[in-house]
Amino acid sequence: MIEFDLHTHSTASDGVLAPAALIQQAALAGIQVIALTDHDTTAGVASAQSAADQLGLMLIPGVEISAHWHDCTLHIVGLQVAVDHPILQQGLDRLATARYARARQISQQLNAAGLTGDWCAAAQQSGQSVGRPHVAQALVAAGHAATVPEAFRRFLQPGKPGYVAGTWAPLAEVIGWIQAAGGQAVLAHPARYRLKQRRLRRLLDAFVQAGGVGIEVIAGSHSAEEARLLARLARDYHLFASVGSDYHGPGLSARSLGPLPALPAGCTPVWQHWSLPAADGSVHAST
């Protein structure tokens, strides 16, 4: 049996492990097919690919793009994307600029609240897709909170002094970038948005209409019951089912890397038409 993990993060965004170290961990943990899906960047894919080549893992080039749909922030995973595609990269550049501007505004608001410091500079490392987790780490390093979750709770969540909503791209546009790059658009962790059934169905209508092809049924943050509900929705909407841990590294993720729960019966896996490694290491088209 092939073990898949199609949602992971590295230091190219808010993960703890460098791309090569992440791939090494995944290999040790028995994963054979892994997607690197950093927030709004593909900067880690090349180095993950070299590591995967050395270790005999199959790397799926991916990205997790921040999008908005009405007043919700959604995460859309792009799998099998051509990372150099100009339409995808122009879109990601736009989000990188928005992320930097947002980090500056977060820093200003934190200063206005009495937390003196250049939190944007502290959060920004070269080549990184800067986000709230980096600001949280800087606040922890400065002693304003003991842990990253505490920094989120006290300063960075809605209603807190350092909260700034992201200015992401519309859902349909984001799916368009992924399609342009030849990828498959998968709605990440649908249960995390806390949408009522009717609203979730409306979201899936819009998602399918825009060209989305899959949803995460197994996700690090989903309960078994949520996975069963999402398996039913995947079937109803003729969507592929994906599996991903959303691993961010030791200390940042509740579960470690390793085999994920199996997809519930009746799901069509997102890898249905992929060319997959065989047990003997050769590559063949799955049927």
Give me the least distance between CB of 76 and Mn ion, in Å please: 9
5 binds, among Mn ion, ligand AMP, none (CB under 5 to 8 A by kind): none
Query: What value, to the nearest 5°, has the Cα angle with vertex 270 and ends 266 and 276?
Result: 115
Q: How far is the CB of 97 from Mn ion (least distance, A)?
A: 19
Per CB under 5 A, the segment of 160-168, 178-186, 187-195, 253-261 that binds Mn ion is: 187-195
Residue 176 contact among ligand AMP, Mn ion, none, beta carbon within 5 to 8 Å by kind: none
Show contacts with Mn ion in window 72-101 (CB under 5 A).
75
Q: Which stretch binds ligand AMP (CB under 6 A): 16-24, 54-62, 126-134, 268-276?
A: 126-134
Q: Answer yes or no whether residue 66 interacts with ligand AMP by CB under 6 A.
A: yes
| Residue 18 C-beta: closest distance to ligand AMP, Å | 17
Q: For ligand AMP, which is the closer residue by CB, 119 or 271?
A: 119
Q: Between vectors from CA 93 to CA 89 and to CA 98, what angle results, nearest 5°? A: 150
Nearest to 227 by CA among 238, 207, 241, 213: 241
Please report, as residue ranges, which positions from 198 to 217 form the binding site for ligand AMP (by CB under 6 A).
none
Q: Return the residue of 5, 38, 40, 246 that touches Mn ion, per CB under 5 A.
A: 246
Contact yes or no for 248/16 (Cβ under 8 A): yes
Residues 1-20 touching Mn ion, rule: CB under 5 A, are 14
- The DSSP code sequence of 119-178 is HHHHH--TT----HHHHHHHHHHTTS-SSHHHHIIIIISTTSTT------EEHHHHHHHH
165: Cβ–Cβ under 8 A, 6 or more apart, which residues?
Answer: 73, 158
Residue nearest to Mn ion (CB): 75
Rounded to whole angstroms, how far apart are CA atoms 281 and 160?
Answer: 51
CB of 31 closer than 8 Å to CB of 55: no
The entry of Mn ion, ligand AMP, none that residue 149 binds, CB within 5 to 8 Å by partner kind = ligand AMP
Give the DSSP letter string of 62-112: EEEEEEEETTEEEEEEEES--TT-HHHHHHHHHHHHHHHHHHHHHHHHHHH
Q: Which of 7, 39, 104, 189 binds ligand AMP (CB under 6 A)?
A: 39
Q: Which residues bind ligand AMP (CB under 6 A)?
A: 14, 39, 66, 131-133, 148-149, 152, 166, 248
